[in-house]
Structure 1
Amino acid sequence: MSRTKVGAGKPTIRDVAKVAGVSQGTASRVINQLPVKPVLKARVDDAIAKLGYTPNALAQSMRLRSTRTIGILIRDFSVPGFASFVKMAQSILSDAGYVLMLAGSEDRPEREREILNAFIGRVDGLILSTGSASNSLLENAGTNLSLPMIMLDREPSEHQDAIQIAHREGVHRALTYLFELGHRRVALITGDSNVRPARERILGYREAHVEHGIEIDKALIRTRNFSKEYAFTETSALLASKDRPTAIIVGGVAMLQGALRAIKTCNLRIPEDISLIGGTDPELAELVEPAVTVIQVDYHAIGAEAAQLMLDRLDNRIDPSPRIIKFDSTLIIRQSCSAPPTTRSEPDATEAVRGSTEPFEHPT
């Protein structure tokens, strides 16, 4: 068999990548038998044969050494949905002989980078719920680390699997329900529109308005972050506005508490004065009075799916092509929504807020 020569001496992985026309990371993934698109794998295999390349046995054994550990990066451990996700994932991975290395980023990109660097060499796979849409280290991690990676509700790179939630459809269902009740001014409070969950919710919001022939008031869309503090600030501002909404959807797993506190601060009643829909189904939604209608997401099932997908990757039981698995969201109707009020006997919300002991400031 004739062999192609790229440089002097024994061919390297860099030579393989050059001949195959792929990145060095992709060549490394093929050599280490990790998921790569079939067309790219064929090109790398062909380049290996042409060059007569053989990997360094010691280096390869070190790269392939199993730690029996899976790293999980979570935005915020205090969020009930994430806790349920981790609990289920841990149960399945533990039964398979793996332990979890958990870390929380607190929605800080620099913290995410620190955590990912700490994971390197210590884990066999990564499950990531990042707080940012763009993080160069995370975007390239699937190639550079040569590890199975599952992105939770984020857009994956070409080498990463992803589990995504149908936020778009969930908000569309919620708005359709509110429109059928007679609402025409519905506010949406959610996170940074550059991040997939918020972006999908906004798309669902816009599609529902177009479908029902209702004009969109951009002032009713509030997007910055997913914190309960932000939900409080924006709910307060909306309720104090001259032409306030008759219903609010809070689209984020930790935002319901902030919206409820703002409504209470404004001395308004649910649903007589304002209808409310939460973006997930925490225990809080069922315990408050009245119980809150929610767009429910099954984080328990998502945790199980993520753990099983990771095990399938580690054991090479599935096709190497990256997978995107989508979970539906369900509208759970409770008592927090009714037809919009035609008259208001209570004090104006602006005056209520001014008299509150919990002042708010609308962010610029």
Structure 2
Amino acid sequence: MMKMNDVAKLANVSPATVSRVICHPELVSEETRSKVLEVINQVNYKPHIVARQFRTQKTRNILVVVPDITSAFFSKVLRGIEHVALKNGYQVILGDTENNIEREKDYVDLLLQKQVDGMILLTARQDKVRLEELSTQFPLVLACEYIDGLNVPTVSIDNVSSARKATEHLISLGHTKIAHISGSINVILSRDRLRGFKQAMMSQNLEVESSYIQEGDFKFESGYHQMMKLLALEVPPTAVFAFNDEMALGAIKAAKDSGVNVPNDLAVVGFDNIKMSSINEPSITTIDQPKYEIGKKAMEILLKLINNQELHNKKIVFKDELIVRGSTRKEIDVKETLEMV
């Protein structure tokens, strides 16, 4: 079996340098690190994990807890996390709660048992006091989701202003009967996006009808069913802002199945700018948030916490962008075009 001393000889470095590359890669120059890692990969060297943990008191593992691994949104966030983690010698363990708060608590127990060095929560549905207590004992970062007033490092966008921007776009197109398909209302992101929607409507003195607000569960199917309910109203909306792109896709499918043209009869705005939003026909107007950068920054902050480095800013808020596409662009009638000419 290949030993650390053997790797050191082949890489022409000391065993201590090999150990640092494995346990503290940030302390080794990129040139030396690359040379040692190349040898490790060539000889398929596997460090003794238990012995390494005993020496360093670190597992070199971090846990990322996701509310729904099937959601297209989280794949890019996870990629940003993993790229930074691997570069710094950490492995990512993934926990999928399936939107179950009890399962989220079970994953937190891994941190309590010191089976991981730190945790990134992409879901924040636990008790605020418990999370604050955890953050004083262990490296913990929230990303994407957050809790108001929580003194824990957080990386996100401003969901209220983003939702307001999406709704204002629909208002600017002349729509006054605008509906909102929200996410589960027990999640703070759903409440914040609903708040942004209402703010935009009220700022233009537009009525927010209760029947025009339908609660979904983040998935395509709920977007479809909630849109069907909206279309069945005596006076259906002419525009809808959906919590995310998946539900916006469902809403467009419901409109098509009901003989309603998007965007001529119904304008649709989504959120997140997942890949399908640009592929769908029509392509979906959406709010883009920098998913990869959010994941990257969350992991960078977690590494600082693990290494007891000072944080100058605990609340990182990234900018979003409205991407206007076909689902809100009305087709110009041929007759109207001729009259213009």
Please indicate the TM-score interval, normalised by the length of the shorter structure.
0.7 to 0.9
> In structure 1, what is the Cα distance between the partners aligned to 2:81 and 2:235?
45
Equivalent residue runs for 1:200-279 within 5 Å: 200-252=192-244, 254-279=246-271
- Deviation of 1:117 after TM superposition, in Å, equals 2.0
The Cα shift of 1:225 comes to 2.5
Instruction: Give the direction of change, closer, same or farther, for the CA distance of 1:238–1:323 in structure 2 (3 Å limit).
Output: same
Partner of 1:65: 57
Residue 330 of structure 1 corresponds to 321
Instruction: Evaluate the alpha carbon distance shift between residue 254 and residue 339 of structure 1 in structure 2; reply closer, same or farther with a 3 A threshold.
Output: closer
Tell me the residue number matched to 1:187: 179
Report if the CA contact (8 A) 1:158-1:322 is conserved: no
Residue type of the partner of 1:121?
Answer: K
Q: Counterparts of 2:139 and 2:95 in 1: how far apart (Å)?
A: 18
- Do structure 1's residue 115 and structure 2's residue 107 form an aligned pair? yes
User: Offset of 1:233 from its aligned partner?
Assistant: 1.2
Q: SS at the partner of 1:121?
A: coil
Task: Confirm or deny that 1:140 pairs with 2:130.
Answer: yes
Structure 2 distance, partners of 1:122, 1:218, is 47
TM-aligned CA deviation for residue 157 of structure 1: 6.8
Q: Is the 8 A contact 2:231 2:237 kept in 1?
A: yes
The answer to whether the Cα contact below 8 Å between 1:142 and 1:160 also exists between their aligned partners in 2 is yes
The structure with more helix, counted as a fraction of residues:
2
Are the counterparts in 2 of residues 159 and 322 from structure 1 also a CA contact under 8 Å?
Answer: no
Change in 2 beyond 3 A, CA 1:217/1:156: closer
Report 1:1-364 matches (<5 A): 65-119=57-111, 120-130=113-123, 133=125, 135-136=126-127, 139-144=129-134, 146-152=137-143, 153-155=145-147, 158-252=150-244, 254-319=246-311, 323-338=314-329
In structure 1, what is the equivalent of residue 15 of structure 2? none
Offset, 1:144:
4.2
What amino acid sits opposite 1:232 in the alignment?
Y
Indicate conservation of the 8 Å contact 2:177/2:239, yes or no. Answer: yes
Shift of 1:127: 0.5
Distance 1:279 1:96 in 2: 32
State the Cα distance separating 1:238 from its structure 2 match. Answer: 0.3
Amino acid at match of 1:300: Y
Q: Distance in 1 between matches of 2:149 and 2:95?
A: 22
Distance of 1:69 and 1:331 partners within structure 2: 36
Against the structure 1 CA distance between its residues 338 and 141, is the aligned structure 2 distance closer, same or farther, given a 3 Å change threshold?
Answer: closer
Distance 1:143 1:251, change over 3 A: same
Q: Is the 8 A contact 2:60 2:116 kept in 1?
A: yes
**Aligned equivalents of 1:156 and 1:246: distance in 2?**
33
Aligned equivalents of 1:250, 1:196: Cα separation in 2: 15
Determine the C-alpha separation between the residues in 2 that align with 1:148 and 1:306. 11
CA root-mean-square deviation: 2.5
Amino acid at match of 1:199: R
Matched residue type, 1:336: S
Q: 1:188 to 1:340 in 2, by over 3 A?
A: farther
- Secondary structure in structure 2 of the residue aligned to 1:187: strand
Is the contact made by 2:67 and 2:96 (CA closer than 8 Å) also made in structure 1? Answer: yes
Deviation at 1:339, TM superposition (A): 6.0
CA distance in 2: counterparts of 1:113 and 1:340, whole angstroms? 50
> Helix, strand or coil for the counterpart of 2:225?
helix
Q: In 2 relative to 1, CA 139–267 (structure 1 residues): closer, same or farther, beyond 3 Å?
A: farther
**Corresponding residue pairs, total:** 277
Amino acid aligned to 1:67? T
Q: 107-116 or 83-92: which moved more?
A: 107-116
One-letter code aligned to 1:330: E
CA 1:253/1:143 → structure 2, altered by over 3 Å: closer, same or farther? farther
Query: C-alpha deviations, 1:301-321, integer Å up to 9, x for none?
Result: 1011111111121222224x8
Letter matched to residue 317 of structure 2 = K
* TM-score, L = length of structure 1: 0.70
Given that residues 272 and 286 in structure 2 are in contact (C-alpha distance below 8 angstroms), is that contact kept between their aligned partners in structure 1? yes
Amino acid paired to 1:143? E
Gaps of 5+ in 1: 1-60, 342-364
Match of 2:253, as an amino acid? R
Q: Are the equivalent residues in 1 in contact too, given 2:66–2:121 (CA < 8 A)?
A: yes
The one-letter amino acid paired with 1:129 is: L
CA 251–227 in structure 1, closer or farther in 2 if over 3 Å, else same: same
Mapped contact 1:89–1:306 kept (Cα < 8 A):
yes
Q: Aligned partners of 1:279 and 1:252: how far apart in 2?
A: 4
Question: Could you list the runs of 5+ residues in structure 2 that have no partner in the other structure?
Answer: 1-52, 333-341
Deviates most, 84-93 or 215-224 = 215-224
Deviation at 1:156, TM superposition (A): 6.4
Between the aligned partners of 1:250 and 1:316, the Cα distance in structure 2 is 41
Give TM-score, length-normalised by structure 2. 0.75
